[in-house]
Amino acid sequence: MTTENAGGGQFDFAHSEQAAKSRQDKATALARYVWDRGITGSELLDLTDAVRRKLARAADLHPPSTMETWTIVAELLDRKSEWAAEHPGHDGATPQHTDEKIMWVKPPITPWT
């Protein structure tokens, strides 16, 4: 999104410091919600856009308008998982709502044999 700024030039809000901070804040909030459900970064990125939008709404957030935010969320999830593996005894190292994961990430279906 570009707008005229006071100097008469174009201002690109999407690439401003304020936009980057907002994107990081939203990504952090989403990552907390998603990680607590036991969803990994790769699983998150494998979800459809529609499912990711529903996931954001379930976290009481407006869905991100770009994939950039979701990529940041996936990176945060990976970092949190690494931290959790290094600190298994810490209260924050165990997701609390893993039973809800199946609502978002469907396990592969085993074919009849």
Is residue 8 situated within a structural domain?
Answer: no
Kindly tell me if the per-residue pLDDT of 28 is higher than 90. Answer: yes
User: Which residue, among 93, 73, 90, has the nearest Cα to 82 in the 3D structure?
Assistant: 93
Q: Based on the structure, what is the number of domains in the chain? A: 1
Residue with the bigger pLDDT between 112 and 68: it is 68
47 CB contacts (<8 Å, ≥6 apart)? 55, 104, 105
Which residue type does 72 have?
I
What residues make up the domain containing 24?
17-103
Is residue 9 situated within a structural domain?
Answer: no
Is residue 39 situated within a structural domain?
Answer: yes
Beta bridge partners, 3, equal: 11
Is residue 23 situated within a structural domain?
Answer: yes
Kindly tell me if the per-residue pLDDT of 4 is higher than 60. Answer: no
Contact status, residue 56 vs residue 39, Cβ threshold 8 Å:
no
Considering the chain, what percentage of its residues have pLDDT values greater than 70?
87
SS3 of 37, please? coil
Is residue 6 situated within a structural domain?
Answer: no
Is residue 4 situated within a structural domain?
Answer: no
